[in-house]
A and B are shown apart, each in its own frame.
Chain A
Amino acid sequence: MTTKNIMIVGVGGQGSVLASKLLGHLLTKQGYDVKVSEVHGMSQRGGSVVTYVRYGDKVYSPVIDRGQADFIVSFEILEAARWLDYLSQDGQIVTSTQQIDPMPVLTGAMNYPENLLAEIQKTGAKVDALDCLKLAEQAGSSKAVNLVLLGRLSHYFTDITQEAWQEAISECVPQKFLDLNRKAFDLGRNA
Chain B
Amino acid sequence: MKRLMQGNEAAARGLYEAGCCVASSYPGTPSTEITEEIAKYDDVYSEWSPNEKVSMETAFGASLAGRRSFCGMKHVGLNVAADPLFTVSYTGVNAGMVICVADDAGMHSSQNEQDSRHYAKAAKLPMLEPSDSQEALDYFKAAYEISEKFDAPVIVKMCTRVAHSQSLVEAGERQEVPERPYEKNIAKYVMMPGNAIKRHPVVEERMKRLADFAETSGLNRIDDGSDKSTGIVTSSTCYQYVKEALGDKFPVLKLGMIWPMPERKLKNFADTVDRLVIVEELDGFIEEHCKILGLKCEGKSLFGYLGELSQNIIAEKLGLPVTRGRKLDDSVKIPARPPLMCAGCPHRGLFFTLNQAGCTVLGDIGCYTLGAVAPLSAMDMTLCMGASVSAVHGFSKAGGKNVVAVIGDSTFMHSGMTGLANIAYNQSKSTVIILDNSITGMTGHQQNPTTGLNIKGDPAGKIDLESLCRAMGFNRVRVVDPYNLKECADVLREELDADESSVIISRRPCALLKHVKHNPPLTVDTAKCVGCKSCMKIGCPALSMKGGKAHVDETLCVGCGVCEQRCKFGAFKGGE
Contact = CB atoms under 8 A, between A and B. Distances in A.
Interface of A: 11-13, 24-25, 28, 33-48, 59-63, 65-69, 78-79, 81-82, 84-89, 101-113, 116, 119-120, 122-125, 142
A78 B332 CA distance: 11
B281 to A, nearest CB: 12
B178 interface: no
A47 B340 contact: yes
Given A39-B160, A102-B335, A45 B108 contact: no
Interface string B329-370: 100111111111110000000000000000000000001001
Contacts of A102: 335-338
28 contacts: A33-B167, A34-B4, A34-B168, A36-B165, A40-B444, A41-B29, A41-B444, A42-B442, A46-B340, A60-B240, A60-B244, A62-B162, A65-B311, A66-B325, A67-B322, A67-B325, A68-B312, A81-B334, A84-B325, A87-B325, A102-B338, A107-B375, A110-B335, A119-B332, A120-B328, A122-B329, A123-B327, A123-B329
Nearest to A45: B339
Contacts of B33: 40
Contacts of B109: 39-43
Contacts of B325: 66-69, 84-88
Given A38-B164, A81-B332, A116-B332, A62 B339 contact: no
A62 B165 contact: yes
A82 B334 CA distance: 7
A116 B539 CA distance: 25
Given A28-B4, A40-B109, A44-B339, A85 B544 contact: no
Contact of B536 (A48, A61, A89, A106): A106
Given A62-B240, A68-B323, A103 B374 contact: yes
Nearest to B243: A60
Best-surrounded residue of B108, B165, B324 (most CB of chain A within 10 A)? B165
Contacts of B373: 103
Contact of B30 (A40, A60, A66): A40
A37 B161 contact: yes
Interface string B300-340: 00000000001110000000001111111100111111111
Contact of A43 (B3, B166, B339, B342): B339
Residue among B161, B326, B332 with max Cβ neighbours from chain A (10 Å): B326
A79 B337 CA distance: 9
Closest 6 CB pairs of A and B: A41-B109, A67-B323, A47-B339, A41-B29, A62-B165, A61-B244
B166 A37 contact: yes
Nearest to B104: A41
B339 A42 contact: yes
B326 A123 contact: yes
Contacts of A87: 325-326
Contact of A84 (B2, B328, B338, B543): B328
B326 A62 contact: no
Given A78-B334, A78-B335, A82-B334, A103 B324 contact: no
Given A24-B4, A84-B327, A39 B164 contact: yes
B4 A103 contact: no
A61 B240 contact: yes
A46 B310 CA distance: 26
Given A34-B166, A44-B444, 15 more contacts: A28-B2, A35-B132, A40-B33, A44-B339, A46-B339, A46-B342, A47-B337, A48-B337, A67-B323, A82-B334, A103-B373, A104-B336, A113-B333, A119-B332, A123-B328
Contacts of A108: 536, 545
Contacts of A122: 329
B137 to A, nearest CB: 15
Contacts of A44: 339, 444
A60 B168 CA distance: 11
Contacts of A43: 108-109, 339
B456 to A, nearest CB: 21
Interface in B515-544: 536, 539, 541, 543-544
Nearest to A59: B167
Interface of B: 2-4, 29-30, 32-33, 108-109, 132, 160-162, 164-168, 237, 240-241, 243-245, 310-312, 322-329, 332-342, 367, 370, 373-375, 442-444, 536, 539, 541, 543-545, 555
A12 B3 CA distance: 26
B307 to A, nearest CB: 12
Contact of B323 (A36, A65, A112): A65
A119 B2 CA distance: 43
Contact of B167 (A34, A47, A65, A85): A34
B102 to A, nearest CB: 11
Contacts of B541: 46, 103, 106
B310 A65 contact: yes
Contact of B4 (A36, A66, A67, A109): A36
Nearest to A89: B326
B536 A107 contact: yes
A28 B536 contact: no
A42 B324 CA distance: 29
B338 A103 contact: yes
A60 B324 CA distance: 20
A86 B332 CA distance: 17
Contacts of B329: 119, 122-123
B108 A41 contact: yes
B37 to A, nearest CB: 13
B328 to A, nearest CB: 6
B544 A106 contact: yes
A78 B308 CA distance: 24
Contacts of A34: 4, 166-168
Contacts of A42: 29, 108-109, 339, 367, 370, 442
A45 B340 contact: yes
Contacts of A11: 337
A17 B339 CA distance: 17
Given A47-B340, A104-B335, A88 B323 contact: yes
Given A43-B108, A47-B337, A81-B332, A124 B165 contact: no
Interface centre among A39, A60, A86 (most CB of B within 10 A): A60
A121 to B, nearest CB: 10
A35 B334 CA distance: 29
A106 B326 contact: no
Contacts of A46: 337, 339-342, 541
Contacts of A78: 334-335, 337
Contacts of B335: 78, 102, 104-105, 109-113
A106 B543 contact: yes
Nearest to A119: B332
A120 to B, nearest CB: 7
Given A42-B29, A66-B324, A87-B326, A33 B333 contact: no
